[in-house]
Amino acid sequence: MAAMQLFYEHGFNATTLNDVARAARANTGSLYYFFKTKDDLLLAVLDNYVQLLWPAVMSAPFEQTEDPIEKIFAVFERYRQGLIHTGCTRGCPIGNLALEVGDAKPAAREKIALNFANWCKAIQQCLDAAAPRFPPDIDREKLSRFVLTILEGGIMQARGHRTIRPFEEAIEFLRDYFNRLLKK
């Protein structure tokens, strides 16, 4: 979807419906037929991200290893490669939209929250699969949100500093944290 790419590259506010129509090689009338407003298009983009979580983000990293903890770090590696590929100029498209429009557009904020919740559920599946290796009092749902916080924070810092180092340091520290939690 052209809008996804443009929102990711330029942001929601800087992208016009004319930009989207041009990138999609469609006329604006056709675009307006399906999306009455740019906000309607944003909601469709966010719905698309919900559908793409597994095939675009989780599937390949999860298939790299059988170990549920290593699956989590394989996901992080995928994001790391994305940051390197873009010179640390683009981050997580959902995180970007959360910062840009989350406060101003309640319907979009709800879909952004759904995207984050689904991401955490996928990570929690890994944590649940590794449950016997964790101390029994670990709240794996909260831990999945902590993992997301490390990811998004590492991405923001990498973008802010224009270097992968802050992201790598965050992941290194998360790895150490997991190693301390996991039963040997």
Instruction: Read off the DSSP letter of residue 133.
Output: G
**Lookup result for tokens 């840009």:** 100
In this prediction, residue 184 carries a pLDDT of 57
| pTM of the model as a whole | 0.91
What is the C-alpha to C-alpha distance for residues 42 and 180, in angstroms, rounded to an integer?
41
Q: Position 9: which residue type?
A: E
What is the C-alpha to C-alpha distance for residues 103 and 66, in angstroms, rounded to an integer?
39
**pLDDT per residue as tens, the chain (184 positions):** 889 999 999 999 999 898 998 998 988 888 888 899 999 999 999 999 999 999 989 999 999 999 999 999 999 999 999 999 999 998 899 999 999 998 899 999 999 999 999 999 999 999 999 999 999 999 999 999 999 999 999 999 999 999 999 999 999 999 999 999 997 5
| Domains delineated in the chain | 53-181 (1.10.357.10)
